Amino acid sequence: MAKKEIVNTSTNNDRKMRIKDLIFAGAFGAIYIVVMLIVVMVTGMVPVLYLMNPLFVGIVCATIYELCVLKVHKFGAALILGILFAVTASSGYLPGMFLAIGIAVLAEVVLLIGKYKSKKFFLISYLVFNLNMVCPFTNLYFNKSSFIAMATEYYGEKYANGVAALATGWMPFAQMGLAVLGAGIGVLIASKLIRKHFEKAGIV
- Residue 42 Cβ vs another protein, minimum distance, rounded to whole Å: 8
What track of x and - describes contact with another protein for positions 95 through 114 (by CB under 8 A)? --------------------
Region near another protein per CB under 8 A, out of 27-35, 47-55, 127-135, 173-181: 27-35
User: In this chain, which stretch among 105-113, 114-122, 166-174, 195-203 interacts with another protein, using CB under 8 A?
Assistant: 195-203
Q: How far is the CB of 63 from another protein (least distance, A)?
A: 6
CB of 65 to another protein, least distance (A): 11
Q: At what angle do helices 77-89 and 119-129 cross, to 10 degrees?
A: 20
Alpha helices in 14-143 (DSSP H): 19-43, 47-51, 53-72, 77-89, 94-113, 119-129, 138-142
Length of the chain equals: 204
Our CB check for another protein shows the closer of 80 and 169 to be: 80
Instruction: State how far the Cα of 51 lies from the Cα of 146, in Å rounded to an integer.
Output: 17
Environment class of 15 (CB within 10 Å of its CB; exposed 0-12, middle 13-18, buried 19+): exposed
Q: Does 14 bind another protein (CB under 8 A)?
A: no
Whether the CB-CB separation of 162 and 39 falls below 8 Å is answered with no
Contact yes or no for 119/190 (Cβ under 8 A)? no
Q: Is 92 in the site for another protein (CB under 8 A)?
A: yes
Query: Which residues make up the interface to another protein (CB under 8 A)?
Result: 17-20, 22-27, 29-31, 33-35, 41, 44-45, 59-60, 63-64, 67, 71, 80, 84, 88, 91-93, 139, 146, 149-150, 153-156, 158-159, 189, 193, 197-198, 201, 203
